[in-house]
Amino acid sequence: MKNILHTGISSANDESLNRKIKLSNLIAIFTCTVCLGLVPMYLYFQLYYLMCITVLTVSTSLICFMLQARKKHQLGFIVLTFAMIFIMSAISVVFGQIVNMHFFLLCICMTTTVLFDTQKILRFFIFSLALTSFFSLIFFLPYTTGFTSSSDLIVQAMKIFGYLNYLVIFAFTGIFFTSFVQQITLFQKKILSQNAVLEQKNLQITDSLKYAKHIQSAILPPVSTIKEYLNESFILYKPKDIVAGDFYWLHPKEDGQVLFAAADSTGHGVPGAMVSVVCTNALNQAVKEFGLTAPGEILDKVRELVSDGFQQNESGEVKDGMDISLCLIDRTQRIVKWAGANNPLWIIRENSDDLEIIKPDKQSVSKTDNPKPFTTHTVYLNSGDCFYLFTDGFADQFGGSAAKKYMQKRIKKLLLSIYKKTMSSQKRLINDNLLHWMGNLEQVDDICFIGVKL
């Protein structure tokens, strides 16, 4: 019996389909059992014509089992429901309301809502057909027909048949709801079990990411070190995920000059963080091993190192890298040498209403088909002048009443309104403005925004 009940059920099916198949099989088994159980009564009262109905019902059930076994699940559901509507209606028309077969049409209405829950039109059609047939039989069908009232023996047999059908309807309704509730309960238990597994795996992944963040934080220069060399500065660093592709980098030189950068590695999250480690190592290697100081030359060497680090493999050529704004700051002479890969340098001079933009080279620090040397720009600053390095996360953040990007135009306007304030105040105002702009929207990218005042 268990094997028959599971006919057509497969692990390849989703849980919802398997529940429907099991319910369809249960209806077919129940119908066959009832029909075969009534055979002794047919024989006793010599109602041999009702044997035809039994044969038809059993044959229909077997066809439904065959369709389920052949993975024709939807067709099996349709054959089952339409056959039941036809058989119940035909029996009622032949024998009258006395046999109470028309009440089975209400059972079909119940099963239809389950078997065709995702097919709205088909569900509505079958439900309407069954309900219309039921009310038509209620209002227009006589209690007995000429066939059933032909003899007292047949009337007595039909009454017994009708009472038995009441019991069958109650039994069917009870089994239907019990089976349905059991399947839902089992499904809920399975979901809870899967959720527990997912929560455990999510906890393990989160713990791994948190440790990865700890490692990435160890690679980033400490705020105390940055303040030691660039006292009047701020860093607004907001990873989108636990770990980030954006990073900032600092390397002090023995002559008092400082190399400082804001970089945006390809991607964000774990992939971006992995690329950022490669790019950070390349920056350190270019400066420490090759002794380079000019920002343009450093980026040329970093591009070479990053390209060598991402060797071509079977999955294809890797062209990941970073966009970066890199400067060499001479605090004594107030000279900034700068080079950029897709990210610009912004300067606001003291008591000025203008924002100067040093445009970057339009190429990434990565493997490219036609690489060009990066340009080193020299900027002379005065006391009180501010300059800003940043990645594209701030400008690309969606928000506002129309859920649009913040855009660089708004950033310029904001900086011109706050540049005279202390660097800590500027950081707070920029962060508050960003949060107000985002509202309830999700952060779309890593954000790294750096300001320095000489």
Spacing of C-alpha 63 from chain mean position: 40
pTM value is 0.63
pLDDT confidence tier of residue 342, bands split at 50, 70 and 90? very high
What confidence score (pLDDT) does residue 191 get? Answer: 85
Q: Could you tell me if 384 and 334 are in contact, meaning their C-beta atoms sit under 8 angstroms apart?
A: no
Residues 221 and 61: their CA atoms lie apart, in Å, by: 74
Residues 203 and 207: their CA atoms lie apart, in Å, by: 6
Report the candidate in 452, 224, 272, 233 with the shortest Cα–Cα distance to residue 348. Answer: 452
pLDDT confidence tier of residue 271, bands split at 50, 70 and 90? confident
Q: How many CA atoms lie within 13 A of 178 on its CB side?
A: 8
Q: Indicate the class that CATH gives domain 220-453.
A: alpha beta
Residues 159-183: pLDDT tens digits? 887 888 788 788 877 777 776 677 6
Residues 27 and 111: their CA atoms lie apart, in Å, by: 9
Residue 140, number of CB atoms within 10 A of its CB:
8
What confidence score (pLDDT) does residue 341 get? Answer: 93
Q: Please report, for the chain, the start and end positions of each structural domain, with discontinuous segments joined by +.
A: 2-195, 220-453
- List the beta strands (DSSP E) in 139-281: 233-238, 246-252, 258-265
